């Protein structure tokens, strides 16, 4: 009798525990709690969005820095080749670069250069070559580059330079190329331009007003060869 009584009591206890477990199952696995993988995915998406936003902001800053660097680079370029630059650099309007007035004694500059350079033959013109002038480049900058390839220098004795807005090329020697570039822009100057080839100084001079020294020591282009 006691055995059966204990068995009945034990059975009731087990039934009660099972009922309690079943009643607590719903809260434990309720839909109100998000699965772990969904939580992780949400955090990853949030992180990626933050990273994308940060990258976009960095790109904007880099673009602004690049634009400023380009403008500063142009000003520094003219400061290095002309000197005595003041303010924020040359002003550029309608593809015209306004430079400070040339300073110094041109005759002394050329005389000093003649002492340190080996003169060229009077009839030297250089090899025929392809000289492209591309959109956004400056005439003085590119002409100086091509002259340098021929061991020459260009003295741009003008208060203006010009940004190329329509690309072109000149398939000539450097002396003829310099002459054609100078004549192409002389309409911007009241008195026109004179282009000299100073063979003893290995120098090409682009100037608005010629001088007695240039007329004596250099060749005024075009000469009979051109």
217 and 158 share one domain = yes
Name the residue with higher pLDDT: 121 or 23. Answer: 121
What gap in Å lies between CA 86 and CA 27, rounded to an integer? 78
Question: pLDDT for 74-87, tens place per residue?
Answer: 444 444 444 444 45
Q: What is the pLDDT of residue 44?
A: 46
User: Per the domain annotation, does 90 fall within a domain?
Assistant: no
* Structure tokens given for 4: 């059966």
Question: pLDDT for 200-217, tens place per residue?
Answer: 999 999 999 999 999 999
Mean pLDDT confidence for 49-59 = 54
Tokens 């650099």 belong to 89
Q: What is the pLDDT of residue 55?
A: 53
User: Per the domain annotation, does 193 fall within a domain?
Assistant: yes
What gap in Å lies between CA 147 and CA 38, rounded to an integer? 68
Res. 72 pLDDT band, cuts 50 70 90:
very low
Q: What is the pLDDT of residue 216?
A: 96
pLDDT at position 103 over 60: yes
Q: What is the pLDDT of residue 40?
A: 43
Res. 99 pLDDT band, cuts 50 70 90:
very high
End-to-end, the C-alpha distance of the chain in Å comes to: 138
pLDDT at position 33 over 50: no
User: Per the domain annotation, does 159 fall within a domain?
Assistant: yes
135 and 27 share one domain = no
Query: For the residues of 106-172, what is the DSSP string, one character each?
Result: HHHHHHHHHHHSPPPPTT-----EEEEE-TT-BHHHHHHHHHHHTT-EEEEESSEEEB-SS-EEEEE
Q: What is the pLDDT of residue 41?
A: 47
User: Per the domain annotation, does 195 fall within a domain?
Assistant: yes
User: What is the pTM assigned to this prediction?
Assistant: 0.62
For the chain, what percent of residues have pLDDT higher than 90?
58
Q: Are 97 and 90 in contact (CB under 8 A)?
A: yes
77 and 108 share one domain = no
104 and 193 share one domain = yes
Q: What is the pLDDT of residue 137?
A: 97
Q: What is the CATH number of the domain that holds 160?
A: 3.55.50
Among residues 57, 81, 105, the one where a domain terminates is 81
Q: What is the pLDDT of residue 90?
A: 76
Question: Could you list the residue range(s) of the whole structural domain that residue 108 is in?
Answer: 96-221
63 and 121 share one domain = no
3-state secondary structure of 98: strand
Q: What is the pLDDT of residue 152?
A: 98
Question: pLDDT for 105-158, tens place per residue?
Answer: 999 999 999 999 999 999 999 999 999 999 999 999 999 999 999 999 999 999
108 and 202 share one domain = yes
| Beta carbons within 8 Å of 146's beta carbon, 6+ residues apart | 129, 131, 174, 177
């Amino acid at each position: 009798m006691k055995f059966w009584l204990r068995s009945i009591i034990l059975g009731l206890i087990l039934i009660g525990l099972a009922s309690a477990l079943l009643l607590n199952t719903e809260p434990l696995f309720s839909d109100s709690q998000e699965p772990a993988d969904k939580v992780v995915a949400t955090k990853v998406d949030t992180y990626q969005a933050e990273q994308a936003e940060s990258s976009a902001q960095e790109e904007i800053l880099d673009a602004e820095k690049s634009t400023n660097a380009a403008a500063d680079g142009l000003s520094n370029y003219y400061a290095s080749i002309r000197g005595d630059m003041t303010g924020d650099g040359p002003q550029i309007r309608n593809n015209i670069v306004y430079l400070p007035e040339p300073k110094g004694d041109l005759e002394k500059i050329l005389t000093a250069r003649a002492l340190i350079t080996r003169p060229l033959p009077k009839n030297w013109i250089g090899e025929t070559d392809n000289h492209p002038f591309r959109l956004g480049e400056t005439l003085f900058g590119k002409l100086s580059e091509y002259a340098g390839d021929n061991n020459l220098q260009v003295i741009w004795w003008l208060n203006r330079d010009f940004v190329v807005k329509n690309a072109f090329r000149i398939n000539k020697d450097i002396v003829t190329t310099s002459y054609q570039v100078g004549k192409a822009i002389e309409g911007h100057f009241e008195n026109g331009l004179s282009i000299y080839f100073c063979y003893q100084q290995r120098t090409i001079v682009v100037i608005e007003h010629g001088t007695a020294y240039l007329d004596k020591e250099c060749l005024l282009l075009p000469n009979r060869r051109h």
